[in-house]
């Protein structure tokens, strides 16, 4: 058993040497952690990071303000820890920004913030307020046009990007491996049909195809995953087909046939494990392109629907500020996409180099 | 006679992160002008490293050199190990040229061969295009390529293996080098072609008064052409002497072993001597000679009966040769052409022929790995091509194949123990995995491997060990019929003897019937009862092995036998 470890650990050792790949891996692990605990980490832990405070819209990064927490009408449902982790909790308060305030016995008198330099004196009964009536909030990356915290939306938005990558890769790998292996192993008639199908899919521009699929499945979160997955299997299928075709010529495959192994066993036990390397590499790069495609679709409005935060959607909502006073609103999600995509591509390259012993081993 | 090259105290080691591997350990030799020096040794002996060090073709790091390699040119001594890259460039290909083992991959497939040779001439001699072309055609004449000006325009895939090697030789000779290094130049070629190439090298060497270093694992190949022989073992020179002296009066036990482990004229039923019969090597690599105690015991052969185990009737296999525009095949080559034969139970049938004669295709067809275009095969009286798919699969456990290339016949991602166990699981032999594992351990022992090898991966084994693993796997199902397809062709002569002994031993123990496919008549004669000689898809001769070997009836067989390399004196 020690040798299994040796084989894998030498791959790991080679991977470790590649600084860029390790940096990419660190970024990916960080973003996974951020995505999983998004609602606990984000300053705004409401569902979809959707705390709207219209008065403080379009603020620059580092902006800070006092907020009065006013209870919402109706009873607040109880949340389990798990549901908070998964989808956050509905905000129990509405927020009123204020400039200064003073407390009396049973009410609070405050100067309501309306705009830079404009305020309006109001008072409110303490009964309507939360236990901690006034909080001081700092918006590290500023706010968008609804006064929502950009940082929180950015953190919650990681979920969409990672999910779309993961699910699209799983779907495309499943279809790609299945069809690619069938075509490469059986050749002939099966190969002709599959290749014909692949060539047709390939001839349709990706975005157009995703549009068509979302038209059938409807707009939304899950539909996007499936649509992206359904367009990306083509590359994988072609790659797998080529690899299977060259491996099939190896004598150990023939030896398997001579020993009466079934085709299923030969493909799954002897061919697929031997093409893991290239598959891992293409999976990593597909992960990256899925993120880009999702961002593009959300930008065009066929992707993730508001109020759910997605990086592409955030760019769409804020891109017209790029030339006005607050370009950061759109640039920040853009940078986030770039960093994550870069991270996956670097890991992909690192994997390719680390797994490159295959030729030596064969 | 002038000394051309002197290697003094040369040591080469390969540094990796964790270890230094010593590839060459303090070797000394020299090559004179007009002399052919052969370096003989098994794989891993350092013979190729020696050649590559002379040309400084080893990447450094990881290679680290010590010592001196002095090349003498016009009475000027140049130390190749300390020469800068400009100087090396002017020596490589110009003063010292090299020919590699694999002519198939040393030529660029998208350029015609003439231009490739002309290009290197223009590069080194700085002459114009026309002169280079003339010189190339002249060289092609020298290396006896057919119709030189016509061959000039051909592409590598249009030439045979031997012709490609001739092109490589022409390229190497283009600048009239003082020293020619040949690294196993004939190993990938058929014997008849090998003989001609050897003669060509010898002729060219004498015409030009070159020094030649000829590297090979097979003493017999160089017996006829070498002036001096250097025997290497594990990075050291164990013996060097004149060829005659080495061949007739070997001193070192390893040389003795190399000379006697060839199956060529060995009595049929006797065990072949192997290296370990001649010497012991302790952990520090110190060699001690053994009193020769070859177990000369006669090996019993499995009893032959008169029952026909397998019968092939009028087998023809066609390969599409040309396709029309619409993809319809319009002409075929006959890989196997109307072949019929029978194998009796317990018999070993040898199938001999040169590459491309259809012997491998026939072997695969017999095992139903590909379908013949006409004809049928009866195994134990049943037509295997008429069987339904699942019955054929069940039948497969009764017929097995051992392949040529031990490097590609094992799944690199599968532990060897699991590889041997897998067929047992698939065919539901034995009751549980525990029993199967015991059986695998037993099999590993049978092929002289250790139980702890169960958990190793194929790349951790040498070629000979891998071939033994492949044999253990084929035997796991206890087949009654085994096809050995060139099973010893990829192995060194010394390892080949071990594997042949093993095959003989297990044949006795398991009592199976076999077809032994090989290009090497001497191996086939040693191992089989009956020989079929194949040429261009047809069987040209068949008969009892001694009769075919000593008294061949067809001219083709006679030619094969005449081309076999022979040790002087035997």
Q: Is the pLDDT assigned to residue A67 strictly greater than 70?
A: yes
Q: Do B411 and A274 touch (CB under 8 A)?
A: yes
Q: Is the pLDDT assigned to residue B64 strictly greater than 90?
A: no
Sign of CA dihedral B75, B81, B83, B88: positive
pLDDT tens, residue by residue, A293-326: 888 888 888 877 778 888 888 888 888 777 777 7
Q: Do B472 and B509 touch, CB atoms closer than 8 A?
A: no
The phi-psi region of residue B233 (left if phi > 0; otherwise alpha if psi is between -120 and 50; otherwise beta) is beta
Q: Is the pLDDT assigned to residue B146 strictly greater than 70?
A: yes
Q: Is the pLDDT assigned to residue B125 strictly greater than 80?
A: no
Gyration radius (Cα) of chain B, Å: 25
Q: Is the pLDDT assigned to residue B62 strictly greater than 80?
A: no
Q: How far is A62 from chain B (nearest CA, A)?
A: 50
pLDDT tens, residue by residue, B398-430: 888 888 777 788 888 888 888 889 888 888 888
* Strand residues in chain A grouped as ranges (E): 63-71, 93-103, 107-115, 118-125, 129-139
Q: Quick one: average pLDDT of A265-292?
A: 87
From chain B, the residues in CB contact with A264 under 8 A are: none
CA angle B492, B496, B498 (to 5 degrees): 125
A106: contact with B, CB 8 A cutoff = no
Write out the two tokens for A312: 């592409």
pLDDT tens, residue by residue, A201-223: 888 887 788 888 888 887 777 78
Q: Is B117 exposed, middle or buried (0-12, 13-18, 19+ CB in 10 A)?
A: buried
- Looking at residue B516, its pLDDT comes to 92
Q: Report the residue from A4, A7, A260 with minimal CB separation from B394.
A: A260
Upper half-sphere CA count for residue B228 (Cβ side, 13 Å)? 16
Q: Report the residue from B409, B426, B470 with minimal CB separation from A261.
A: B426
Q: Is the pLDDT assigned to residue A362 strictly greater than 70?
A: no
Chain B residue closest in CA terms to A7: B457
Spatial distance between the Cα atoms of B304 and B512, rounded to a whole number of angstroms? 10
Which pTM does this prediction carry?
0.76
Q: State the pLDDT confidence band at A133, using cuts at 50, 70 and 90.
A: confident
Q: Do A254 and B369 touch (CB under 8 A)?
A: yes
Q: Report the residue from B393, B412, B413 with minimal CB separation from A260.
A: B393
Spatial distance between the Cα atoms of B38 and B227, rounded to a whole number of angstroms? 8
Q: Do B400 and A259 touch (CB under 8 A)?
A: yes
Q: Do B347 and B311 touch, CB atoms closer than 8 A?
A: no
Q: How far is B456 from chain A (nearest CA, A)?
A: 7
- Looking at residue A196, its pLDDT comes to 93
Q: Do B459 and A254 touch (CB under 8 A)?
A: no
Q: Which of A123-127, A227-231, B359-363 has the lowest mean pLDDT?
A: A123-127
**Which of B389, B494, B384 has its CA nearest to residue B41?**
B494
Chain A residue closest in CA terms to B396: A260
Residue A176, C-beta contacts closer than 8 angstroms, at least 6 positions apart: A232, A233, A234, A235, A236, A237, A239, A240
**Which of B466, B58, B27 has its CA nearest to residue B234?**
B27
Q: Do A270 and B396 touch (CB under 8 A)?
A: no
* Strand residues in B279-360 grouped as ranges (E): 279-281, 287-289, 308-323, 329-344, 348-352
B452: contact with A, CB 8 A cutoff = no
Q: Quick one: average pLDDT of B370-389?
A: 88
B426: contact with A, CB 8 A cutoff = yes
Q: Is the pLDDT assigned to residue A7 strictly greater than 60?
A: no
Domains of chain A as residue ranges with CATH:
2-34+152-361 (1.10.3720.10), 53-147 (no CATH)
- Looking at residue B284, its pLDDT comes to 66
From chain A, the residues in CB contact with B489 under 8 A are: none
Position with higher pLDDT, B322 vs B399: B399
- Looking at residue A1, its pLDDT comes to 37
From chain A, the residues in CB contact with B422 under 8 A are: 259, 261, 269
């Amino acid at each position: 058993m020690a040798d299994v470890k040796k084989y894998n650990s030498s791959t790991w050792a080679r991977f470790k040497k590649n600084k860029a790949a390790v940096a990419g891996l660190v970024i990916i692990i960080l973003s996974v952690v951020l995505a999983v605990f998004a609602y606990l980490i984000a300053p705004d832990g409401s569902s979809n990071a959707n705390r709207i405070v219209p008065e403080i819209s379009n603020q620059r990064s580092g902006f800070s303000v006092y907020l009065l927490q006013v209870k919402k009408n109706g009873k607040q449902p109880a949340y389990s820890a798990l549901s908070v982790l998964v989808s956050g909790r509905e905000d129990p308060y509405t927020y009123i920004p204020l400039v200064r305030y003073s407390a009396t016995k049973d009410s609070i008198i405050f100067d309501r913030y309306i705009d830079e330099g404009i305020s309006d004196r109001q008072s409110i009964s303490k009964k309507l307020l939360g236990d901690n009536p006034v909080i001081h909030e700092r918006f590290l990356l500023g706010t968008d046009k609804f006064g929502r915290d950009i940082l929180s939306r950015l953190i919650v938005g990681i979920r969409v990007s990672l999910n779309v990558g993961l699910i699209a890769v799983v779907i495309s790998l499943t279809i790609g491996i299945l069809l690619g292996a069938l075509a490469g192993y059986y050749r002939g008639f099966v190969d002709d049909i599959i290749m014909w199908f692949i060539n047709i899919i390939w001839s349709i521009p990706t975005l157009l195809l995703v549009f068509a699929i979302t038209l059938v499945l409807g707009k939304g979160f899950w539909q996007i995953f499936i649509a992206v997955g359904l367009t990306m299997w083509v590359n994988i299928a072609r790659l797998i087909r080529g690899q299977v075709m060259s491996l099939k010529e190896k004598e150990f495959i023939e030896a398997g046939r001579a020993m009466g192994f079934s085709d299923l066993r030969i493909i799954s036990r002897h061919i697929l494990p031997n093409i893991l390397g290239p598959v891992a590499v293409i999976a990593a790069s597909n992960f990256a392109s899925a993120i880009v495609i999702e961002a593009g679709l959300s930008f065009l409005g066929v992707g993730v629907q508001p109020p759910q935060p997605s990086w592409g959607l955030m760019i769409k909502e804020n891109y017209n500020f790029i030339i006005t006073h607050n370009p950061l609103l759109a640039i920040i999600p853009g940078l986030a996409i770039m960093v994550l995509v870069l991270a996956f591509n670097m890991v992909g390259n690192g994997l390719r180099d680390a797994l490159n012993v295959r030729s030596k081993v064969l | 006679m002038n000394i051309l090259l002197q290697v003094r105290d040369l040591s080469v080691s390969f540094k990796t992160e964790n270890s230094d591997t010593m590839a060459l350990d303090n070797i000394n030799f020299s090559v004179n002008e007009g002399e052919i020096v052969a370096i003989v040794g098994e794989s891993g002996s350092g013979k190729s490293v020696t050649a590559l060090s002379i040309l400084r073709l080893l990447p450094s790091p990881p290679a680290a050199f010590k010592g001196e390699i002095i090349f003498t040119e016009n009475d000027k001594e140049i130390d190749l190990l300390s020469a800068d890259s400009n100087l090396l460039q002017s020596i490589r290909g110009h003063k010292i040229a090299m020919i590699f083992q694999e002519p198939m991959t040393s030529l660029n497939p998208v350029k015609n061969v003439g231009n490739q040779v002309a290009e290197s001439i223009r590069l080194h001699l700085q002459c114009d295009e026309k002169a280079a072309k003339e010189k190339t055609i002249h060289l092609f004449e020298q290396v006896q390529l057919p119709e030189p000006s016509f061959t000039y325009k051909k592409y590598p895939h249009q030439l045979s293996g031997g012709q490609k090697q001739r092109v490589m030789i022409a390229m190497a000779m283009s600048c009239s080098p003082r020293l020619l290094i040949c690294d196993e130049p004939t190993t990938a070629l058929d014997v008849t072609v090998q003989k001609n190439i050897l003669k060509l090298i010898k002729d060219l060497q004498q015409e030009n008064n070159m020094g030649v270093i000829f590297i090979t694992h097979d003493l017999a190949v160089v017996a006829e052409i070498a002036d001096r022989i250097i025997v290497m073992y594990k990075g050291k020179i164990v013996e060097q002497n004149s060829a005659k002296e080495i061949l007739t009066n070997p001193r070192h036990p390893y040389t003795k072993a190399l000379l006697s482990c060839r199956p060529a004229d060995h009595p049929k039923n006797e065990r072949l001597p192997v290296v370990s019969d001649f010497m012991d090597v302790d952990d520090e690599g110190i060699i001690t000679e053994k009193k020769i105690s070859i177990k000369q015991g006669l090996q019993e052969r499995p009893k032959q009966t008169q029952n026909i185990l397998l019968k092939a009737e009028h087998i023809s296999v066609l390969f599409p040769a040309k396709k029309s525009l619409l993809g319809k095949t319009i002409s075929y080559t006959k890989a196997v052409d109307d072949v019929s034969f029978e194998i009796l139970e317990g018999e070993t049938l040898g199938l001999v022929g040169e590459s491309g004669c259809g012997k491998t295709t026939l072997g695969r067809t017999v095992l139903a790995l590909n379908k013949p275009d006409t004809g049928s095969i009866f195994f134990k009286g049943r037509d295997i091509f008429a069987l339904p798919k699942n019955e054929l699969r069940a039948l497969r456990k009764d017929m097995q194949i051992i392949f040529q290339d031990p490097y590609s016949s094992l799944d690199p991602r599968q532990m060897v123990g699991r590889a041997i166990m897998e067929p047992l699981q698939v065919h539901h032999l034995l009751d549980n995995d525990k029993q199967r594992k015991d059986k695998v351990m037993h099999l590993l022992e049978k092929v002289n491997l250790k139980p702890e090898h169960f958990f190793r991966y194929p790349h951790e084994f040498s070629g000979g060990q891998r071939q033994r693993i492949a044999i253990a796997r084929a035997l796991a199902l206890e087949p009654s019929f085994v096809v050995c397809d060139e099973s010893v062709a990829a192995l060194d002569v010394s390892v080949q003897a071990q594997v042949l002994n093993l095959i003989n031993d297990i044949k006795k123990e398991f009592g199976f019937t076999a077809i032994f496919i090989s290009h090497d008549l001497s191996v086939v004669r040693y191992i089989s009862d009956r020989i079929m000689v194949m040429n261009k898809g047809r069987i040209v001769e068949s008969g009892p092995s001694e009769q075919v070997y000593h008294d061949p009836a067809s001219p083709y067989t006679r030619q094969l036998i005449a081309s076999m390399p022979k040790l002087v004196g035997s």
